[in-house]
Amino acid sequence: MGLIYYLKKLRDGYVINRVKRIKLPCFEETPIVRKRLIFSGRVQRVGFRLEIYELAKRLNLTGWVKNRADKTVEAEIQGENEKIIFLIEHLKSLKRASVRGVEIEKIPVVDDEAEFYLIKK
């Protein structure tokens, strides 16, 4: 196991601890929606997917996130709309990533989805 492995472990630990320290606001209850998000900019190789995964779990959102070949990150996120908006705004504020754009598409809700998945290549 080389230096790259240990650097990734260090970065992942940083991301996980950072997400644990985020102060979550009190959200008003809103209807469940599902959105497809495509983030562009410097969003790969900076712990961006892990940040989405960890924060989505804290917010009790379901869905998945993955890297795309065109260097964007795609996610389908389901849950209360206010929580999804909070997640998007948080990701846009990250210093180690540089979100240049977010495509947002409302899509049909998936019944019986219970978890959030981080899809690796």
Which amino acid appears at position 60 of this protein?
A: N
Residues 37 and 88 sit within 8 Å (Cβ to Cβ): yes
* Residue 71 token pair: 């260097």
Residue 49: active-site member: yes
Say if CB 36 and CB 107 are below 8 A apart.
yes
Q: Count CA within 13 A, CB hemisphere, residue 16.
A: 6
User: Is residue 11 flagged as an active site residue?
Assistant: no
Catalytic residue, chosen from 11, 18, 67, 81, is: 67
Active centre residues (catalytic): 49, 67
